[in-house]
Amino acid sequence: MNFRFLTILLVEVLIFPFALLSQVSTASLEGKVMGEDGTPVPGAEVVAKNLETGLSWRNITSEDGIYYIFSVPPGRYEISVSHEAFGPQAKTIELLVGQKAVVNFTLKIKEIQEEIVVTAEAPTAELKKSELSIPIRTEQVTYLPLNTRNFLEIATLAPGIKPMGSTIASGATMPTNMGFYIDGAEFKNEIVEGGLVGQFVSTGNAFPQDALREFRVITQLYKAEYAKATGGVITAASKTGTNEFHGTAFITYRHKDLNALGYFEKEKPDYKRLQTGISFGGPVIKDKFHFFISYEGTSSKTFSTIVPGNPIFSQYSRTFERPFDGYLGFLRLTYQHSPNHYFDFSFSGRYDTQLIGGGGIYDYSFARYFDNYVYTGILRHQYIISPSLVNELRINYQRYNWIIDPVELTYAKRYPSFIVGGHSHSPQDWYQDRYAIYDDVTYAYGSHVFKAGFFISRLFYQAEQKLYLNPQFYFRKDTDTVPYLGIIGDGTPFLKSNNTQFGVYIQDDWTVNPRLILNLGIRWDYESNMINNKFVTPEEIKRDLQPFFESKYFSDGTNRKPYLYSFAPRFGFTYDLTKKDTTFLT
């Protein structure tokens, strides 16, 4: 019965794609156009014009006077309405990433209309929504002081979000439980901790701050369009070029004189940090084709002091340099070929290198060199098939690679008060390649906005761990000359694998009445090789544990099968308690 249900669901999505395209990095607009007597005005043209780029999206009101405009980039818009029997009217509004804004119009008969009525509106208060989310606006990204220029620091303004190293987590979960999207593409770390690609171990910035327009933090009740997250979702939108050439540049320098003396330091180390950046954007063809580029670089010299726990190791005491260099680049091109076709391409690149480990009771030889690479390309096409039907296709490629090399390739002596020698977890070389296709469709019908879509992602993993090169010898006492334990890595140091991920969802945003909105949805996800299906339990482990565990707990390389029942129903609602659009229950 489950397979029959799945087949029916897939057929509905692929053959009858009546759904809303994903709003992972865009916004939507809806409303009602009425006459002064309260009757609906059908056939009115509604135009949403981006006041920065000149790009426009159009729709026609239905018999009930309702209009929808889906999947527009965040920004400041003029919403205008015109009809042959009524005078024109326009309003301005700031649309935020992931927002569904409601803008209604009341038109006057043309004969008594003397001029266009233009009303400037403040950004819509986001009370009428079925999810728990906090928008981080452009002003916050631009003007809030950030010591590292890492936009994830601002995400901690949202209730329940906490910092964890150079990344974040939600509630009692780990960063791995969160989902991360930038411009609609997934930035999920599939191979190690950190949640967001590039944030494992590295202290670098994930994305140029000057290239980020805004983002949204969703902590609970996120809709079916969001995948692979149980602890919250971050969805961000980058900047685009506008109809005016505009650029920024910055330089920040910090010297050791601004630092305090460390507790174990007799003099201040030669600390330095230099941050530079430049961004520039503008029109290639006004109201049609725009570009935006950004670069950001960070170079710093910090220091760590080695402080052995026993004076017999005092010869190792010293302060050593811990360098960091990080480089970020971004390019985005947007092109509206016609009112029905919108193209968007972006590329971001990141490279940072640093020295990690060492210091305290760890000798400099225990430190490691860490190199971090992230490259992402996104191509998007939006096709407005009809005023109530829109399709969006996104193609995404991403390479994530990190490499760890030891400062010294030698065995380590691990005393209770001090550790000297090479780290056991090096060298390592990991990478994750992602090839993904996303397709989402929009269909609005009466009081329903149906959403559906699917994605296919092909991932390639490679891990090279030469953990046998740095044996670890353990001593019970600081004065011992013979270790009581020696550990050396063993097994296959090289792993290469692949995984296919497939997800499909369908949902309905149903306005039951002016006070009650329901969100009903379900998604299904599948992975072909999520748990390394060909893994074989080593014979020595199987031999030792067989007396205590059933045979099903041991893998022979053929008995691990993909999980087929990963269904996730989603339900949310919002209810107007006062009938005044001021107090809502979600």
DSSP character string of 475-492: -SSTT-SS-SEEE---S-
Q: How far is CA 19 from the centre of its chain?
A: 23
For the stretch 556-566, pLDDT in tens is 888 888 999 99
- Residues 462 and 401 sit within 8 Å (Cβ to Cβ): no
Residue 6 has pLDDT above 80, yes or no: no
How far is 103 from 93, CA to CA, in rounded Å?
A: 9
Look-up of token digits 């949202």: 158
| 372 pLDDT tier (thresholds 50, 70, 90) | very high
How far is 167 from 273, CA to CA, in rounded Å?
A: 21
Q: Which two tokens stand for residue 233?
A: 């979702």
Handedness of CA 419, 424, 426, 431 (dihedral sign): negative
β partners of residue 486: 473
How far is 154 from 171, CA to CA, in rounded Å?
A: 16
Percent of the chain at pLDDT exceeding 70? 92
- Residues 347 and 377 sit within 8 Å (Cβ to Cβ): yes
- DSSP readout, 304-359? EEE--SSGGGGGG-EEEEEEEEEEEEEEEEEEEEETTEEEEEEEEEEEEEEEE--B
Q: What is the pLDDT of residue 3?
A: 44
How far is 41 from 26, CA to CA, in rounded Å?
A: 28
How far is 236 from 184, CA to CA, in rounded Å?
A: 8
How far is 328 from 238, CA to CA, in rounded Å?
A: 14
269 Cβ neighbours under 8 A, 6+ residues apart: 256, 262, 302, 303, 319, 321
How far is 106 from 113, CA to CA, in rounded Å?
A: 12
How far is 305 from 320, CA to CA, in rounded Å?
A: 6
H or E element in which residue 201 lies: none
Q: What is the pLDDT of residue 114?
A: 52
How far is 462 from 376, CA to CA, in rounded Å?
A: 18
For the stretch 432-459, pLDDT in tens is 999 999 999 989 888 898 989 999 999 9
- Where is pLDDT greater, at 145 or 457? 457
Phi, psi of 287 (to 5 degrees): 65, 15
SS (H, E, C) 245-301: CEEEEEEEEEEHHHCCCCCCCCCCCCCEEEEEEEEEEEEEECCCEEEEEEEEEEEEE
Q: How far is CA 337 from CA 75, 115, 326, 329, in A?
A: 20, 32, 37, 26
Torsion on CA atoms 405, 410, 411, 413, rounded to nearest 10: -90
**What is the average pLDDT value for the chain, to the nearest integer?**
87
| 23 pLDDT tier (thresholds 50, 70, 90) | low
Residue 581 has pLDDT above 70, yes or no: yes
The 10 Å CB-count burial string (b at 16+, else e) for 422-458 is bbbebbbbbbbbbebebbbbbbbeeeebbbbbbbebe
Strands 117-120 and 86-95: parallel
Phi, psi of 105 (to 5 degrees): -130, 145
Residue 583 has pLDDT above 70, yes or no: yes
Torsion on CA atoms 413, 415, 418, 419, rounded to nearest 10: 30
**What count of Cα atoms within 13 Å lies in the side-chain half-sphere of residue 532?**
13
Q: Taking the CB of residue 346, how many other CB atoms lie within 10 A of it?
A: 22
Phi, psi of 417 (to 5 degrees): -105, -5
Q: What is the pLDDT of residue 270?
A: 78
Count of helix runs (H) and strand runs (E) in the chain: 4, 33
For the stretch 220-265, pLDDT in tens is 878 888 888 888 899 999 999 999 999 999 999 887 777 777 666 6
Task: Please work out, in degrees rounded to the nearest 5, the angle formed at the alpha carbon of residue 144 by the alpha carbons of 154 and 27.
Answer: 60
| 195 pLDDT tier (thresholds 50, 70, 90) | confident
Residue 120 has pLDDT above 50, yes or no: no
Look-up of token digits 């009341």: 106
Residue 7 has pLDDT above 60, yes or no: no
Q: What is the pLDDT of residue 64?
A: 87
How far is 268 from 136, CA to CA, in rounded Å?
A: 38
| 498 pLDDT tier (thresholds 50, 70, 90) | very high
How far is 315 from 349, CA to CA, in rounded Å?
A: 43
Q: What is the pLDDT of residue 18?
A: 35
- In angstroms, how far is the first alpha carbon of the chain from the final one? 34
274-278, 422-426, 429-433, 435-439: segment of lowest average pLDDT? 422-426
